[in-house]
Structure 1
Amino acid sequence: MIVKCSILTLVVAAILAGNHAFANEMEIITIHHSDNHSVVSATDKALPAKIDVGDLFEVLPGASINGNGPLTGIVQYRGLSGDRVNTQINGVKLAGAGPNAMDTPLSYASLIMTERVDLSRGIAPVSSGIDTLGGSVNVVESSAEFDVVDGKVAAQYQDNGQRGSFGAKANLANKDHALLVYTDILKGNEDVITGNGKHIMPTDYQKQMFGGQYKFNLTDSLSQEEFIGIGYQYLETTDAGTPALPMDINFIRTDHINSQGVHLFAEWQLDWHLAYSDARHGMDNFSKRMLMPSMSARYNNADSTSWDGALAFTKDDWQVGLDMQMAKHDSVITTPEQSMFSIGNFNGVRDDRYSVYAQWDKHINQWQLNVGARLKQYQTDAENVHHSMAANKPAINLLMTRFNEADKSQSQTGVDFVFDARYQVNDELTWIVGLARKQASASYQQRYLWLPMQSTGGLADGKTYVGQMDLDLETAYQIELGNAYHSGNFSINPRIFYHRIDDYIQGIEATDPVVLAVTAMMGDANPMQFANVDADLMGMDINATYAFSTQVSIDMVASYVSGERRDIDDNLYRIAPANINVGLNYESNSWFARLETLAMAAQDKVSVSQLEQRTSGYAVVNMLVGYEAKSWRVKAGVNNVFDTEYQDHLAGYNRVMGSEILPGERMFGLGMQAWLSGEYHF
């Protein structure tokens, strides 16, 4: 560890060395502006093999991934995760079926279709989505193009876990009609192995998706974009392990339909979309993991339907728009051991959000200004629930009766304000200041989880929770300061931030005697209840690049965040440790290579309230080499070259009995992994 960290220090120091005036031709992170707001992007060209699109976010400043299994990546940005981070695919956000976020938003992104992942750096503009308290990310996928006939075939293989993927897409179009079709097949045949030779059980999976998009050109010119289109995607995941959760995926089957268009009216441009999702999900605790004699077999059938719609009118410096998200959730728990056993986990839960916004983007002399406001209306409700054991379990019956007799309908109004200013001192330096007030509503799990359970949207802390119907909106006051400096062969972009969040929603110790009576029957003496508390988040993130020559460059991304509660002396749960990623890149003619070191600090600022375990620091080294021709590209590499054993602070705790990792022990990261990938364009 000392040797690796010393190497890392030398590499970071090298960023500031020398004064060669060369351009960096192979950037890992690109920076561009959208609505006068910084957007950082990552593509997979010079990065190690990934099985999930969400892994690309880990190289972006301030971003990381909460992983509960190989296919369940949840974006964390500057310490905030889950529904707080607006996570979209091509600007669309649809609800998943899983009450424990097994089908996360990122799980619906296609590997073959993904062009890049975008992160709104810092405070997200109001135009980026309804709820952006924790930032906004977007997976940019391929779109049907007019007057283009081309395609791509890609495949990869990873030896640790015998993982592989194959994908293909084709664009067939003339100047009036465009058709894009694609398919993805992903499979993990074995459990992955840690650096100390332990099997992480279960981590195998099977996943496939296919779909297409059709567009009709509304103009006679290809230089002017005006079209109407419709798309469809089918996704099926089967037999996938999620060892940090109490159940594994039996199946996920989802149909997505999306219509969209761009229209020009005088000097205004209208962009719109209307998307629909129908998701079905089955999960259990006995098909892929050992069921102890003292445990009961459980099967959960969950489903959701959701709509996502948007209208955006743009003219000159102004953008005004309307957004709508509507979702309905159901979840029923049964057991194969007893046909009469049934629990209505969530029944007819409605989670609807309606919003209007206005945004002004203006360039005045050396200033670039982004000012916006968004008004939001949240409407939630739920139908009555049931429990087959209520007749002979008074405590369960009382919880059920209280829930069913309560007024479950909630209506709340939220308001967001954003002010982002950039002052360009000269061609090399720009100063940045951002201010915002953002609000967000509770998730449906936090509000309507009536019986103590672990259906918590992927918290993966091993604890049981109950919800609270009348949770207040979270209100965040945010400030960001930073700069962007670029001179010849060197660029650096540091940011510092502070978020003061009133009514932050998290679990606190449950004190309701009825809840305690129910959890005592379940063998849990420390249940939690979702509640409003107060919190602070502060930190910094930085990315930098330096080109030694036209062939050799170095890049760095470093992040630090601290999250604390203001009402008591405690830390927030599942906050990413301080980390740094340094990569040395080589590119000459068609060859390219990368050697990177990822170092994570120890995380000892943990949530005592949630009995969160500390983790030690570690460093891993990844390497790759590739060759890119005009129509094809091949890459090969090794991740975790030194087979380092480490525990991932964001990977939760093992929930599988009979595993080589003890129940309740922090999950380990992957050991050494050799991989090969290739793609062909036609």
Structure 2
Amino acid sequence: MSRFPAAPSPAEAALCGCIVAFCAHAAPARAGDPVVTLPSLSIEATDLPSLADSPLSASSPGASDRAAAQLGSPDAVALFHDTPGFSAYSAGGISSLPVLNGMADDRVATVVDGVRISAGCPNHMNPAMSYIDPDSVQTATAIAGITPVSLGGDSTAGTVDVERRDPQFARKGQVLVTGHVTGNYRSNGGGSEASGTVTLADDTFSLRYTASYAHAGDYHAGGDGGVVRSTDYLTFNHAVTLGMHKGNHLLALTAGQQDTPYEGFPNQYMDMTNNRSTYVNGKYDGSFDWGDLEVRGYWQRVDHVMDMLGDKGGHSPTTGMPMNTDSRMAGYTLKATIPLGPRDTLRLGSSFDHDGLNDWWPPLQGSMMMGPGTFHNVNNGHRDRLGHYAEWEARWTPRLSTLLGFRNDLVMMNTGPVSPYSWTGMMAAADATAARAFNAMDRGRTDVNFDVTALTRWQALDSLTIEGGYARKTRSPNLYERYAWGRGAMATKMIGWFGDGNGYVGNPNLTPEIANTASITIDWHDPHGQAWDLKIQPYYTYTHHYVNVVRLAQYSNGTSLLEFVNHDAQSYGINASGSYRLWNTVRYGQGDLVGTVDWVRGQDLVTRSGLYHQMPANGMVGVHETVGNWTGRVEMTFVKSKDTVDRLRNEPRTPGYALLGLGGSYRWRYLALNAGIDNVMNQKYYLPLGGLSLGDYDATGVLGPLKGMGRSFNVSLTGSF
């Protein structure tokens, strides 16, 4: 498999050059044009923030945190770095999987521009947040814990919600031209990025174009760890947004395309050798006499190809293992917010999501195992979800409010008959037998799921707010958990988004997970300003029918053949965050001490094993300073050794570590310079949620945990107009 060029094509380079030139000429002429920033269309006038829109368990990174995250990674998941309760499964350079309170991936309702996007890949190489570059994100929110039914269904962990910028408009009678261009460089892996946006608007119509490019080679591990193979990537994003604004009504339509010619996955047997996503996303916000209405609709097509890049020996047409996936997604969401009086607010909503999937593996030329026919892994599969909810929020007093919500999700799944590479022969016997049994069964499944959320917020003192409650959340299995049917060692090892090297078999008889969560959040803060703040959130979750695994067989290299099954499980932990104003003077500006601490423990109550990929106790302590146009930061990240592991998956233990990071930025007129050093001491460490380094295993024969990135010098320059 040949590599795509690491640099942009001539057309891409010309486009970037045109944007830069346009910015340079447009800035003096239009920099002072007034911009109309549309307010949120909310009719609620209350003393406390809405429980549904702003629960205390929600966290959003500030502007400086987002700038630091974007400097260090092109992955939008990195925006939530140091967010309480949040961690990430390591995957490709732009494809990490979000984790909230120890629950990952499909258990998290990941929403991009109001849309739930499912990964269309047996290894989940193209998750929802891989389709948006960090520079395009306007708001990013993670809710770890009890989630209102209006903010997520078909999930058990919480919600991660990111939104692109709304269209901008000019004041009446004027024309607005605005935008920015950013360039990034990272020394470790030679990573480079470019992104930019241009908006042309009057008081009614707005047209915006955004583009981004990101590339990196394999990164180097800390200490003397050498190169970490299969960590390179190349990706392009383009999007056009048309907006229309009149009175209390906003209409926005975005069409875009992402191309990822290649992306290495160090903890998978396969790499991504092409991924093209084409999408259309529409949004309407309106305010009426009776309340507010939000309508969204979307369509997305994903063409996905996997094989082995050079690190894993995929250079020729007779090596590797070609795997193709086509995904077609469409749906809508409706949300009505209706004030019933000065005290009560009613929210009603409806949504529908269609996920159609074809997953087939073409025969490999000259191979006895992968041929002579096509392996149909998922044939015309679909997962359709129809959801409705009602939510009542009441303000009993200026200091006491409650939220009660009910939700129903109808999940309908099915798939067509499948086929192995060959129906005859000793080498294909296991898959052929499994395919016959799979085709003979009734494969249609329908789940009727119910969620309940009950929350209470009490502002006991001006300095103390307490929020607590209970949630019953339900998640149906995904298409691969139910319909991955292969039984041969090679076929099963192509299934799994866990990065553990094991092989997985689906189970059509899986039942939905039902998670019962009790949580309380205590926010103790300065009643007069922002001098100090301390937030603590303990939680407990008991999950009926948790989708876990049983071991069917063990392979010679220590990995296993596993089947998805329902077990009961529990998880519990505590998240904490805080800040303290160290100084605030004219000469030295403002200095803050900030920190976070997370601890979670999960257990399968049937096998008594730890749940897979639970982040060990970890935290961050930092000092942030702002003096005029200058900001600086010093941060130390601490991670305890990982001793509680999933025995069935042979999850590796990892030692503890501490990483030092430095950063700073300076802004003047239309330019902003941002620089930082990650892992200043070049510490050698292993990623607790990194799984096994399968890319290195092919080259060295040593199967071990994935190494973390070593020291990297990062810099970015942004020009705005």
Give the letter for the 2:458 counterpart: Y
State the match for 2:183 in structure 1.
155
- How far did residue 133 of structure 1 move? 1.1
Structure 1 residue 619: Cα displacement = 0.3
| Offset of residue 507 of structure 1 | 1.5
Amino acid at match of 2:450: V
Counterparts in 2 of 1:503 and 1:120: CA distance versus 1, 3 Å: same
AA of the residue aligned to 1:129: G
Matches within 5 A, 1:305-454: 305-316=328-339, 317-334=345-362, 335-338=364-367, 340-365=372-397, 366-392=399-425, 393-452=428-487, 453-454=492-493
Answer whether contact 1:445 1:455 (CA < 8 A) is retained.
no
Q: Is residue 533 from structure 1 mapped to residue 567 from structure 2 by the alignment? A: yes
Moved more, 334-343 or 401-410: 334-343
- C-alpha distance in 1, partners of 2:164/2:315? 44
Change (3 A) 1:396 1:96: closer
Aligned equivalents of 1:203 and 1:526: distance in 2? 25
Cα deviation, 1:422-453, whole Å, max 9, x if unaligned, reads: 11112110112121111110111100000031
Give the match for residue 32 of structure 2: none
2:602 is aligned to 563
Instruction: Please name the residue that 2:543 is paired with.
Output: 501
Which of 313, 316, 321 is the equivalent residue of 1:298? 321
Alignment partner, residue 281 of structure 1: 304
Tell me the secondary structure at the aligned position of residue 659 of structure 2: strand
Residues 288-315 of structure 1: CA deviation (Å, up to 9, x unaligned): 423699x963110111001131011111
Report 1:103-142 matches (<5 A). Answer: 103-142=126-165
CA gap 1:630/1:126 in 2 versus in 1, 3 angstroms: farther
Q: Deviations over 1:18-74 (max 9, x none)?
A: xxxxxxxxxxxxx97553523310142355522211112121000011112212210
Q: Could you tell me which residue of structure 2 aligns to residue 184 of structure 1?
A: 212
Instruction: For residue 250 of structure 1, report the CA deviation from its aligned partner.
Output: 0.5
Tell me the residue number matched to 1:45: 67
1:27: which partner in 2? none
| Aligned-pair CA distance for 1:395 | 3.0
1:76 maps to which residue? 99
Structure 1 Cα separation of the partners of residues 373 and 226 of structure 2: 37
State the match for 1:667 in structure 2.
706
* Superposition deviation, residue 525 in structure 1: 7.9
Range with greater deviation from structure 2 (318-327 or 32-41): 32-41
Deviation at 1:609, TM superposition (A): 1.2
Name the CA shift for 1:355/1:186 in 2 (closer, same or farther; >3 Å): same
SS across alignment from 1:199: coil
The question of 1:653 aligning with 2:692 is answered yes
Give the Cα–Cα distance (whole angstroms) in 2 for the partners of residues 202 and 282 of structure 1: 16
Deviations 1:538-574 (A, max 9, x none): 0000110001122111110110000001112211011
1:482 is aligned to 521
Quote the Cα distance in structure 1 between the aligned partners of 2:674 and 2:551. 50
Q: Deviations over 1:581-608 (max 9, x none)?
A: 1111111001110000000001111011
Q: Report the more deviating stretch, 155-164 or 301-310.
A: 301-310
In structure 2, distance between residues paired with 1:470 and 1:662: 37
CA contact (8 A) 1:290 1:657 kept: no
Match in the other structure for 1:586: 625
- Equivalent position SS for 1:45: helix
Distance 2:673 2:335 in 1: 40
Cα displacement (A) at 1:661: 6.1
Relative to structure 2, which stretch is displaced further, 33-42 or 353-362?
33-42
**Corresponding residue for 1:13?**
none
CA–CA distance in structure 2, aligned partners of residues 72 and 167 of structure 1: 18
Q: TM-score, normalised by structure 2?
A: 0.85
In structure 1, distance between residues paired with 2:701 and 2:557: 19
1:456 & 1:572 partners in 2: Cα distance?
Answer: 19
User: Quick one: distance in 2 between partners of 1:591 and 1:662?
Assistant: 49
Secondary structure of the residue aligned to 1:192 is: coil
- Percent identity, aligned pairs only? 23
Q: Which residue of 1 aligns with 2:5?
A: none
Other structure's SS at 1:425 match: strand
CA distance in 2, matches of 1:289, 1:455: 14
Q: What amino acid is the match of 1:146?
A: F
Quote the residue 2:195 is aligned against: 167
What amino acid is aligned across from residue 89 of structure 1 in structure 2?
Answer: V
Q: Which structure exhibits the higher relative contact order, with contacts defined as CA atoms closer than 8 Å and separated by 6 or more residues?
A: 1
C-alpha distance in 2, partners of 1:457/1:526?
Answer: 12
Deviates more, 1:597-606 or 1:65-74: 65-74
Corresponding residue of 1:206: 234
Alpha-carbon distance change, 549 to 523 in structure 1, aligned in 2, over 3 angstroms? closer
1:239 to partner: Cα distance: 2.2
Query: Alpha-carbon deviation of 1:336?
Result: 3.5
CA contact (8 A) 1:542 1:559 kept: yes
The one-letter amino acid of 1:87's match is T
For residues 696 and 533 of structure 2, the distance between their equivalents in structure 1, rounded to whole angstroms, comes to 49
- Rounded to whole Å, the distance in 1 between the matches of 2:241 and 2:314 is 44
Counterpart CA distance in 1 for 2:673 and 2:332 is 39
Q: How much does 1:287 deviate?
A: 4.0
Answer yes or no: is the 8 Å Cα contact 2:273–2:308 preserved in 1.
Answer: no
Alignment of 1:177-256 (within 5 A): 177-217=205-245, 219=246, 221=247, 224=248, 226-256=249-279
Residue 544, structure 1, aligned to residue 566, structure 2? no
> Cα 1:171–1:394, aligned 2, differ >3 Å: closer, same or farther?
same
| Matching residue's letter, 1:164 | S
| One-letter code aligned to 2:592 | S
Cα pair 2:167 2:252 within 8 Å, conserved? no
SS in structure 2 of the partner of residue 54 of structure 1: helix
CA–CA separation in structure 1 for the residues paired with 2:358 and 2:557: 26
Distance 1:384 1:287 in 2: 34
Partner of 1:4: none
Give the match's secondary structure for 1:401: helix
Could you say which residue in structure 1 is the equivalent of 2:78?
55
Provide the C-alpha distance between the structure 2 equivalents of 1:649 and 1:46, rounded to a whole number of angstroms.
22
Q: How does the TM-score come out when normalised to structure 1? A: 0.90
Equivalence for 1:18: none
Give yes or no for contact 1:656–1:663 (8 Å, CA) kept in 2: no
1:457 to 1:374, Cα distance in 2 relative to 1, 3 A? farther
**Per the alignment, do residues 600 and 150 of structure 1 end up closer, same or farther by CA in structure 2, a change over 3 Å counting?**
same
- Whether 1:464 aligns to 2:503 is yes
Q: 1:360 to 1:35 in 2, by over 3 A?
A: farther
Quote the offset at 1:192 in angstroms.
3.5
Gaps of 5+ in 1: 1-30, 511-515
The alpha-carbon deviation at position 325 of structure 1 amounts to: 0.9
Determine the structure 1 residue equivalent to 2:675: 636
Matched residue SS, 1:537: strand
Structure-1 residue corresponding to 2:593 = 554
Number of the residue aligned with 1:7: none
Aligned equivalents of 1:417, 1:600: Cα separation in 2: 35
| RMSD of Structure 2 on Structure 1 (CA) | 2.1
- Identify the match of residue 659 of structure 2 among 601, 605, 620: 620
Cα drift, residue 662 of structure 1: 5.0
